Structure 1
Amino acid sequence: MENSTIMIQMSDIYKSFNNIPVLKGISLEVKKSEVLAVIGPSGSGKSTLLRCLNTLETIDGGSIKIKGEYLAKNSDGKAEYADKKTQKHILGQMCMVFQQFNLFPHMTVLENLLEAPLHVKNMKKNEILPVAEELLRKTGLFDKRDAYPSRLSGGQQQRVAIARALCMSPDIMLFDEPTSALDPELTVGVLNTMRQLAEEQMTMIVVTHEMGFARDAASNVIFMADGNIIEKAKPHDFFSNPQEERTKSFLKNMLK
């Protein structure tokens, strides 16, 4: 049975850069254990949507609720954010994995995983070390724990970035084109790690160009274009019977 707990609720989200609208009244919900794949052409607002969720960008209007708590709420047509303490609490439940791996180059793989739990969550090293080591085993990188990022392939670095995010024990994972900076043969390990997370029922929003992942691992797929959600459906319906012309045209190009 599908879990009906709503983890993410974005309502009527507006965002502009230099008076150019990038998000035009976006609304979506993500339930517990759902994997939402977000696809669409470059410049459609996909990454901005994710960045608004974790406050790397602030919204101009609308409201964002995470696990029932307001991160930002609509007040007289403007978005009013929660106080800093509430924001920190809410944001602590989400982790984001970026296109670029953003690992600390002067730290080993293991040190990269330990850094945030030790300094953000104030955990003890003996508490977090077994968790970090288990995550490295899970991502196939245990033998690299003492290596520095520069000694790893791009795919290995991205898997370290995912393990590092998981080390914070998030309830929600956000992925922004996690394989777009990788050569095709290196994407496989990263996508397998993400598929494993999906099977373990991690709640995820994944902005991706990987149609195979969206088809196989997502619970729902949305297609964005020009700052709007054009279509949302279950993967089978989305790929076999898209309803909107924009979606059909996009998929035709992507699935050549």
Structure 2
Amino acid sequence: MTESERTESAAADGWEAGPVREPGARGRRFDAAVRGYLAQHPEATVVALGEGLGTGFWRLDNGRLHWLTVVAPETAAVRRILLPDGARRRTVGGAVTDHRWLDAVEEPWRGVVVTAPGVLVRLPPSAVRALLAACAERFPGGALVFDALPRTAAALARRAAGPGGDRWPGPVRWGLDRAELPRVARAVPGIVAVREVAPVRAPGRRARCGAAGWLRRRMPVLGALSPLVCEVRFAAAGSPGGPRQW
């Protein structure tokens, strides 16, 4: 398994046991963004980049979506054995940066939402821009959900890892500050909206009265270090595609 295919869940919890596993805090944000997109496009294709042996399909399946997992070839072989492909679920072996996986998305006009947990942070900025541009061109009306470390946190992660280090759970090459989100919308033609996905409370847990937000207001350094989950929306076919934020 290459560094770009190791997910947050694999790093934190190891091998997922069973077809359904409750995600962590970041995973809940990803799930919320995907569910929001599926509410508008129930027959969309969910493309899970670097999913490893993740089981998001079983958490998010609405009975109509299609699911495409993109992982390294050696991981794809294992996944097909343990989680065999189905009528609406397929696995493609290949690198995230090899954009041939875009050809595997059938009927993109039904909608496409791409998830990339722990993937973009390990790509150089040029590869991040190329991935956004490719998705904007091929998936009009689609979305891409990714996580990122603010630049200060990314620099600290690189320093802590050292040469050849292995953290988060791989070398951090790209960072993004919250204040830079509008720049993402202007960086690539075809991006019409960018937003940070809000935290989602775990099922069965009481709200903590905005404790996290209160701490970030009291201690701005926390906002400069805490990871963010973002959703990018692409212009629909034939639309002007001017940048905006929502």
Q: TM-score range by the shorter chain?
A: 0.3 to 0.5
TM-score, length basis structure 2: 0.35
- Structure with bigger strand share is 1
| Structure number, greater radius of gyration | 1
TM-score, length basis structure 1: 0.34
